[in-house]
Amino acid sequence: MVGNTHGIVNLRLVHNLPFVSVEVSANNRSVSLHNVIIDTGSAGSIFSADKMLDLGLVCSGSDELYIISGVGGEEYVFSKTVASVRIGHLVVNDFKIEVGAMDYGFEFDGIIGMSFLLATKAKLDCEHLTLS
């Protein structure tokens, strides 16, 4: 299920980057992440391996490691499908994420990329710093 019930989520600017709070659910558990960047230049969504440990998401022998690259450099990640990823009223169930170390020189919990934004038909309003 993908949903958007037209709720509005306020963005916080930190280092001139838009941050939101995100809830990730897997293995009948949920974790709230309060420092997640909205990144329209990222195809997928990636979350900190340290934070995903709380959900029991670890790299197993059957998981393939691969390299993603972007402005922050290159990083080894693995993929997992989680029960849901939620930002306010925006939610995607059975959502594929990447999990990695996320060592980019400052602390944050994850990146929400275009895969989530397109799935939820999210609207990013830079004038009012909102996501709906």
pLDDT in tens, 82-100: 999 999 999 999 999 999 9
Give pLDDT, residue 6.
Answer: 57
Residue at 131 is within a domain: no
Give pLDDT, residue 48.
Answer: 96
* Structural domain range at position 22: 2-120
From residue 66, how far is each of 35, 60, 98 by CA, in Å?
A: 24, 14, 10
Give pLDDT, residue 72.
Answer: 66
Residue at 99 is within a domain: yes
Residue at 11 is within a domain: yes
CATH of the domain at 58: 2.40.70.10
CA-CA-CA-CA dihedral for 57, 19, 115, 40, to nearest 10: -140
**Which among 2, 6, 33 is positioned nearest to 110, based on CA atoms?**
33
Residue at 115 is within a domain: yes
Residue at 129 is within a domain: no
Residue at 128 is within a domain: no
Mean pLDDT for the chain? 91
CA-CA-CA-CA dihedral for 34, 49, 118, 20, to nearest 10: 10
Number of structural domains found in the chain? 1
pTM of the model: 0.90
Residue at 17 is within a domain: yes
Residue ranges in the chain whose pLDDT is less than 70: 1-6, 70-72
Residue at 75 is within a domain: yes
CB 23: neighbour CB atoms within 10 A? 14
